[in-house]
């Protein structure tokens, strides 16, 4: 939450023409945040994918044990 607030403040500083002193530094910070956000989103998708694969594996094991018990 604090990061979002800081990003909003940084974007607001870009919009105010009197604060051109900080403009270059704020652009560097925002450009640095973009890869971090992308990596966090990729990590979330990776965790979702791993849990789906784990669930499918458990279902296959259960179906195999059911087949063996049925024989």
Q: Is the pLDDT of residue 61 over 80?
A: no
Could you give the percent of the chain with pLDDT greater than 90?
11
Distances from the Cα of 31 to the Cα of 38, 40, 49, 52, angstroms:
12, 15, 28, 33
Q: What is the pLDDT of residues 17-33, one digit of tens each?
A: 666 666 777 778 888 88
What is the per-residue pLDDT for 17? 66
Q: What is the mean pLDDT of residues 54-64?
A: 76
The pLDDT value recorded for residue 69 is 67
Token pair 């024989």: residue: 71
Q: Report yes or no: 34 and 21 within 8 Å, Cβ to Cβ.
A: no
């Amino acid at each position: 939450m604090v990061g979002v607030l800081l990003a909003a403040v940084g974007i607001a500083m870009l919009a105010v023409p009197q604060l051109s002193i900080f403009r270059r530094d704020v652009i560097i910070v925002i450009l640095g945040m973009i890869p971090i956000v992308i990596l966090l989103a990729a990590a979330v998708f990776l965790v979702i994918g791993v849990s789906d694969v784990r669930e499918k594996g458990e279902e296959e094991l259960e179906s195999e044990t059911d087949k063996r018990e049925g024989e």
